[in-house]
Structure 1
Amino acid sequence: MNMALQGSLLDQVDEIGLRPLDGAIRRIPLTRGAWLDLRPGWLTGADELFARLTQGGSAGVGWRAERRQMYDREVATPRLLRFYHQHETLPDPVLTQARSALSAHYADELGEPFTTAGMCLYRDGRDSVAWHGDRIGRSSTQDTMIAIVSIGHPRTFAMRPVGGGASVRHTLGHGDLVVMGGSAQRTWEHAIPKTSKPVGPRISIQFRPYDVR
């Protein structure tokens, strides 16, 4: 797979790495016990990581398309996917480092480590994910956290309260980190909307605790 990406002038570094979390995260309180943390530019060398994850080589991500039932017909999921279970080796060492750093930073609040990693590849503005909460497993009844690192072309990340209300929107890309916490998966929904604007590809890397999907 070879995907063209417009690189960021703010991320012209050769070495892939992580910037500090302590003192650099902005927390946004939501309603009903939910909250959102933002850390722009957490991952450095994001364009290089994007290339590794999409151009084969040592990363070896087995991107796959999935199909789902939509009313009376089966349709293709509008993005490519790869999920890494707890004991699978992640496709780049920096992702293992990121998971460990997040587990250490949120240890007191979360009370357990992040264990799995899911990845979504949005090839262009037609690829998207509809409004939803990650409610498979313990997140259907318990507070939890989901941490997302965004690399590639910036896209709109939107959240809205379940049942209606004003939405919250942020543009994420080039190594930005967003963490949804508290009751966010039960009381709020999130989405990556489709767009008719000419946008390049993006990868979303999601870290979750055990038994949260």
Structure 2
Amino acid sequence: MFDSSPRLRGMTPPFQASLLTCEDEARPGPLGGTVRRTALTLGAWIDLRPTWMGGADALFERLAETVPWHAERRRMYDRVVDVPRLLAFYDERATLPDPALDEALQALNDHYAAELGEPFRTAGLCLYRDGRDSVAWHGDTLGRGRTEDTMVAIISIGTPRALLLRPRSGDSPTLRHDLGHGDLIVMGGSCQRTWEHAIPKTARPTGPRISIQFRPRGVR
């Protein structure tokens, strides 16, 4: 069972496993015929597949303990601040930290590579320790995502957190999806250029969550 350590922040609430994903073997389920696509504006879209990663709670426990998480500091206007989450990144030459992620990457490429025109190659992991951890409104526009249509696939394991999406133009309402316990969301088309997404802070007691983001080469 996940427990906080000084490295992960002493006030982290304990992780509560889902009653629906109690199997120990972590592996992705099917995608064909199970994914629900929602068309957004300006050529953007999202696909949702709830509880795609079987054994997600066991996977959460392993990743929380074995991934070499690190903290970062970034310049924000006139000061340097702590990034409010822990991070890990695996480029296309790196060995992923769990066989379940290799299976997930292969399954995503089997399903999406023809539409995307290339495979997913890298994996970024974020650990949101509690409701104080977050990510601000942004699109993945460091690299080709700034000028080209692309896809970003995110698996959420651990305690569900709200992922918000809104158009940069402000002409559509904000969308909310509470993702955790193995849920999959794929953002495609122009989504990174024309929409933004965020994980907001919350004052409610909430347990930890890990997001696993698969991206093509040159998209961050």
TM range (shorter): over 0.9
1:182 alignment partner in structure 2: 189
Root-mean-square deviation (CA), in Å?
Answer: 1.0
2:8 alignment partner in structure 1: none
Please tell me whether the aligned partners of residues 3 and 15 of structure 2 are also in contact (alpha carbons under 8 angstroms). no
SS of equivalent residue, structure 2 residue 20: helix
Please tell me whether the aligned partners of residues 2 and 55 of structure 1 are also in contact (alpha carbons under 8 angstroms). no
Q: Does 1:159 align with 2:165?
A: yes
Q: Does 1:172 align with 2:179?
A: yes
2:111 alignment partner in structure 1: 105
Instruction: List gaps (5 residues or longer) in structure 1.
Output: none
2:26 alignment partner in structure 1: 16
Letter matched to residue 110 of structure 1: L
Shift of 1:75: 0.6
Letter matched to residue 43 of structure 1: M
Q: Does 1:122 align with 2:132?
A: no
Letter matched to residue 11 of structure 1: T
Matched pairs, number: 209
Letter matched to residue 24 of structure 2: D
Pick the aligned partner of 1:30 from 24, 40, 58.
Answer: 40
1:139 alignment partner in structure 2: 145
SS of equivalent residue, structure 2 residue 69: coil
Q: Which moved more, 1:62-71 or 1:143-152?
A: 62-71
Letter matched to residue 103 of structure 2: Q
* Cα distance in 1 for residues equivalent to 2:118 and 2:47: 18
* Cα distance in 2 for residues equivalent to 1:150 and 1:41: 9
Q: Does 1:44 align with 2:50?
A: no
Please tell me whether the aligned partners of residues 146 and 208 of structure 1 are also in contact (alpha carbons under 8 angstroms). yes
Pick the aligned partner of 1:64 from 52, 56, 70.
Answer: 70
* Cα distance in 1 for residues equivalent to 2:17 and 2:33: 27
User: Deviation digits for residues 135-175 of structure 1, max 9, x if unmatched?
Assistant: 01111110000000000000001100003131111110000
Q: Does 1:54 align with 2:41?
A: no
Identity of aligned residues (%): 64
* Cα distance in 1 for residues equivalent to 2:197 and 2:60: 23
Please tell me whether the aligned partners of residues 113 and 120 of structure 2 are also in contact (alpha carbons under 8 angstroms). no
Letter matched to residue 211 of structure 2: S
Moved over 2 A (4+): 1-4
* Cα distance in 1 for residues equivalent to 2:161 and 2:211: 10
Q: When the two structures are superposed, what TM-score results if normalisation uses the length of structure 2?
A: 0.93
* Cα distance in 1 for residues equivalent to 2:216 and 2:3: 31
